[in-house]
Chains A and B, each alone.
Chain A
Amino acid sequence: MNYADLFRVTLPETVLEIAALLVLVVDLGYLRKAALQTRVMSAAVLGVIGCGVAIAMLPFQALGGLTYPGSTELMLAAGGYATIAQIGILVLTVLTLFLLIGSDFTQHVGEYISVVLMAATGGLLIAAAQDLLVIFVGLELLSLGLYILTAFAKKSEKSAESAMKYYLFGGMSAAFLLFGFSYLYGLSGSTNLHEIMRALYSSNAINSSPLLYVALVMVAAGLGFKVAAVPFHLWAPDTYEGAPAPAAAFIASVSKVASFALLIGIGTAAAHVLGSAHKVGFVVLVSGPAPKYFGFERPWSLIVTLLAVASMVFGNLAALAQTSVRRLLAYSAIAHAGYILLALAYFSHSTMSTYAVLYYILTYGLTTVGAFGAVSVVERISGSDRMDAFLGLCRRNGLLAAVMLVLFLSLAGIPPLVGFWAKFNLFAAVLGVSRGVVPFTIVALAVAMSAVSLYYYLQVLKRVFVMPAVDDTPVKGNPLTMSVLVLIALAVVVLGCLPGLLQTWMTSFYAGM
């Protein structure tokens, strides 16, 4: 490795950082006296251009990623799932930037957008990271950005309160994560994911050490916090409710995509080590009953499965009782995280699970950005995100009502919308890895829970379409926001009717590998 290599692998991150600085310079330097809307527009356009250039830079990344000096082990991956996730992160960032246009929660647009871009940089890093230290740095870069974004509506008490909660929980979970990482390093003598896996699989002593269990639980707590898995979910409802809408959309989509990409990376590292063990045969597998499925050894699978089951049960049941649409989306996000964790617990040796999880998280991120966009349009008119603010929306803005119909039904998993395919794909992947009684039961539970979810999504749609309006003021959205929302809804329908498109696109990233 030399600095030229480092630069080539981190091209997109570099571009984003430059864009962030440019936004600051332009906004604070040249547009001080300009009207707020002009500043929002120019900063957002700069941010969008930055993301676009970053996407354009992705093909120029060094193929195969960045290795350690004098070693063949990866530090930063490039290509494959990492690139797909990075494109997803950048595209979703662009969409959340569009949501900012027309909103007025802050005067400090330059700072807002540069923080968004820096947080996205953190997301790009963890999506590709293969090293504990890089993971931690990337996670912190992302998280710190999110705390700031949550608190950005200075006039809102809720925003400050939720940011404080988010920050305290986040700080604690980062400490847990670091603690777990230190044990992992102590056990395996390396900070590289592949090296750690190899050490774990080849030595009985490490594998049965209680320290490993402590380490894994700590890591699960840290990463579970990022994806809002029960019982580390407490921040989610408050943050989703209190954060300004574009920031909430960013947290719900971009940060989720990045965190799940990190989990895919961990699963892939394990699968990779086990795969090469079978091919080369120099690694001695732990004696005793051979694992039935590839992926982490049992403790990790068990922990993730527990998180998954708890999340989908608790998330769905708690969502039933919500009256605030944002809190409802938060609990439904917890439930969705549960489904995804299930596929990560039963991670496949082949790319099947990777595709399924990516498919889910990308389409889910897209749908959530749209849902938050729709909520924010209504919020701006009625000043509230209570369910009753949506009464009679289909008469007040038919287009927005149609968009909400598509997005919420997709979240509920009604075919032919993309949310259904994502779920089907995910559950099929779980059953493709293992056909035992346990996975069948858990998948059955997940399907049953998604039946529960229809109830609360319909509660919102009922207010939009069925119940009479209390006040008839038309809900007018910013034309740009509305066209972004319509585009998202169209994408949800088209990708749902032609589910092969996204899959073919993802497969193309694995073509050369």
Chain B
Amino acid sequence: MLAWTIYISFAGALVLALLPRGNAALARWIALAVAVAGFAIAIAGFAAGAGQGRVTLVDVPWVAFMGIRYTLAADGISRVLVLLTGLAAVAGVLFSWNIELRTNEFFAFFLALIGGVYGVFLSFDLFLLFVFYEIAIVPKYFLISIWGSTRREYAAMKLALYSFVGSSMVLIGLLAAYATSGSHSTGLVYLANADLPVSFQMWAFPLVFIGFGILAGLWPFHTWAPTGHVAAPTAASMLLAGVVMKLGAYGCLRVAIGLFPHGMDPWGWSFAGMGSWRDVFALLALIGIVYGALVALAQTDFKFVIGYSSVSHMGFVLLGLVTLNQIGVTGAVLQMFSHGVIAGLLFAIVGRVVYERTHTRQLAELETMHLGKRLPFAAWSFVIAGMASMGLPAFSGFVAELQVLVGSWIAKPWWTAAAGVGIVVGVAYTWRALQKAFFSDRLPTPDEHPKTGWPKFDPITWPEIAATVLLVGATVIVGVYPRVLLDSIEPAVKSLLAGGMQ
């Protein structure tokens, strides 16, 4: 059943692309219907799959002469991420309700992107996974370059090229794994059990990990993320931060770690404390956490703050992955879900609720506008989202980051210490942005004060409220009762770490 999430998304994209121009309302409702249907299927699939391991959805030969099969399957990790995608899709459509320019094309690209993302999370054939992964690149480019803002063409091209370079690295790894295993099959399960030589895994692992890591915001390959997020239209930045970065992290977990586990074996020698690829990537993840947080602290553009915070939070995901222990990897998967929801909410508030009304994202200008009083909805939802982002208890970020920290303590205690610095700075930059944007007590100078009083902002619309409630609800539910996801994630992580994906 879950496979239908892919098909209805692509079908919706096709219908919208063929829709005559000028009927924006119809395009919106079609997009919403498709997104809600996908979300409903994701929930139903999640509920139906509870307590089960890997369930094969479709498995038919696709390219017989090369041993490539069309294999869709779902395990606990996939189901959680499909759920996230459904959630992000619905929220994204709702927050794009005010798109007037080429509406049907916007939603067509949006749904094509969503379809590709569903496909990646459900593919259990490496080749199929790669195909869906690349399908997701093109819509991103057009979403940003047509409907984006600040330096959109530059940011869109940068994002497309970074993604494509990353996927080229993955493609090399895929070709190499296919050839080395004897050119029989590209099934993930087959390749994981193919006993690939350790010397091969040693170079394939970093190649594929970095290839996927580029999209997950791995420092120092993260630079597409802030510019891309800032330039993207609200829904696209929600998707970029919410699910597209998760594609990268998911690829790191499913492909790099799942297929080439021995790539993280010790080298047998060490240089500056680095004794294996695992140490190297842990260091990069830690730098990402601290660096992202510090840079976020210094931003003057509200959206850049959120953009860099994504780099920092994705660092936790990558750190969790390389702990290679049950609790750390579980935390990483939970953090993927948690960050997907929270970052989506933050971007929506900044890009849609605030920017569409104030037409500026500069913190210095927002400071003089008294948004706390004039846009209480934005202020309070940002307070909630900020608390979730800081990792306060009762929100999903707390459970996830705690697990990552525990896992990294088990692996190497100093990792936890370094990541802790990132959390502290995280509180600081969120606080700073919150204070400057909404609760500043700086009075406007006489020149700044409009002569005829402050203009009224457009009222908050129902799609904004609905989507905010949806996302806040998701993070609170997971924060208060994390077992709802952990029961799915834990067994899947366990079998993945045990090797062979059985």
Give A402's nearest chain B residue, CB to CB.
Answer: B17
Decide: B175 and A465 in contact? CB cutoff 8 A: no
B418 beta carbon closer than 8 Å to chain A: no
For the residues of B in contact with A, the DSSP-based class is: helix
CB distance from B23 to the nearest CB of A (A): 15
> CB within 8 A of A462: which of B131, B153, B164, B179?
B153
A415 beta carbon closer than 8 Å to chain B: yes
Decide: B145 and A431 in contact? CB cutoff 8 A: no
A432 beta carbon closer than 8 Å to chain B: yes
Q: Which of B1-31 contact A (CB under 8 A)?
A: 17
A178 beta carbon closer than 8 Å to chain B: no
A499 beta carbon closer than 8 Å to chain B: yes
Contacts A415-B130, A416-B135, A420-B134: A454 and B179 contacting too (C-beta < 8 A)?
no
Give B161's nearest chain A residue, CB to CB.
Answer: A455
Decide: B138 and A409 in contact? CB cutoff 8 A: yes
Task: Give the complex CA separation of A421 and B164 in angstroms.
Answer: 16
B384 beta carbon closer than 8 Å to chain A: no
Chain A residues with Cβ below 8 Å from B183 are: 428, 432
Type the 1/0 row for B172-198, where 1 means its CB is closer than 8 Å to any CB of A.
100110111001000000000000000
A56 beta carbon closer than 8 Å to chain B: no
Task: Give the complex CA separation of A409 and B164 in angstroms.
Answer: 12
Contacts A415-B134, A465-B146, A466-B153: A451 and B165 contacting too (C-beta < 8 A)?
yes
Type the 1/0 row for A437-479, where 1 means its CB is closer than 8 Å to any CB of B.
0001001100110110011001000100110000000000000
A292 beta carbon closer than 8 Å to chain B: no
Besides A500-B65, A504-B65, 10 new A-B residue pairs in contact (Cβ under 8 A), listed by A number: A414-B138, A416-B135, A420-B131, A427-B175, A435-B179, A440-B176, A443-B175, A451-B167, A451-B168, A500-B62
Decide: A444 and B131 in contact? CB cutoff 8 A: no
Decide: A450 and B168 in contact? CB cutoff 8 A: yes
Type the 1/0 row for B28-62, where 1 means its CB is closer than 8 Å to any CB of A.
00000000000000000000000000000000001
Chain B residues with Cβ below 8 Å from A466 are: 142, 145-146, 153, 156
B157 beta carbon closer than 8 Å to chain A: yes
Give A459's nearest chain B residue, CB to CB.
Answer: B157
Contacts A414-B138, A415-B130: A431 and B63 contacting too (C-beta < 8 A)?
no
Give B178's nearest chain A residue, CB to CB.
Answer: A428
Task: Give the complex CA separation of A207 and B131 in angstroms.
Answer: 45
| 18 A-B residue pairs with CB within 8 Å | A402-B17, A414-B137, A415-B135, A416-B131, A428-B178, A431-B178, A432-B179, A440-B176, A443-B175, A447-B175, A454-B160, A458-B141, A462-B145, A465-B146, A466-B142, A500-B63, A500-B64, A504-B65
CB distance from B252 to the nearest CB of A (A): 19
B66 beta carbon closer than 8 Å to chain A: yes
Contacts A424-B175, A427-B175: A503 and B65 contacting too (C-beta < 8 A)?
yes
Task: Give the complex CA separation of A507 and B65 in angstroms.
Answer: 10
Decide: B179 and A444 in contact? CB cutoff 8 A: no
B171 beta carbon closer than 8 Å to chain A: yes
Q: Which of B150-168 contact A (CB under 8 A)?
A: 153, 156-157, 160-161, 164-165, 167-168
CB distance from A343 to the nearest CB of B (A): 13
Chain A residues with Cβ below 8 Å from B130 are: 415
Task: Give the complex CA separation of A361 and B178 in angstroms.
Answer: 23
Type the 1/0 row for B360-377, where 1 means its CB is closer than 8 Å to any CB of A.
000000000000000000
How many B residues, CB 8 Å from partner? 33
Contacts A458-B157, A465-B142: A447 and B63 contacting too (C-beta < 8 A)?
no
Decide: A444 and B172 in contact? CB cutoff 8 A: yes
A425 beta carbon closer than 8 Å to chain B: yes
Task: Give the complex CA separation of A421 and B178 in angstroms.
Answer: 15
Contacts A451-B164, A454-B161: A431 and B131 contacting too (C-beta < 8 A)?
no
Give A507's nearest chain B residue, CB to CB.
Answer: B65
Give B133's nearest chain A residue, CB to CB.
Answer: A415
Chain A residues with Cβ below 8 Å from B145 are: 462, 465-466
Task: Give the complex CA separation of A431 and B138 in angstroms.
Answer: 28
Please provide the 10 A-B residue pairs with the shortest distance between their CB atoms, ordered closest to farther.
Answer: A431-B179, A415-B131, A451-B168, A466-B145, A447-B168, A451-B164, A454-B164, A444-B172, A415-B134, A451-B165
Type the 1/0 row for B112-141, where 1 means its CB is closer than 8 Å to any CB of A.
000000000000000000110011011001
Task: Give the complex CA separation of A101 and B372 in angstroms.
Answer: 67
Give A440's nearest chain B residue, CB to CB.
Answer: B176
**Residue among B135, B167, B179 with the highest chain A CB neighbour number at 10 A:** B179
Task: Give the complex CA separation of A466 and B142 in angstroms.
Answer: 7
CB distance from A20 to the nearest CB of B (A): 38
Chain B residues with Cβ below 8 Å from A414 are: 134-135, 137-138
Task: Give the complex CA separation of A435 and B181 in angstroms.
Answer: 11
Q: Which of A491-513 contact B (CB under 8 A)?
A: 499-500, 503-504, 507
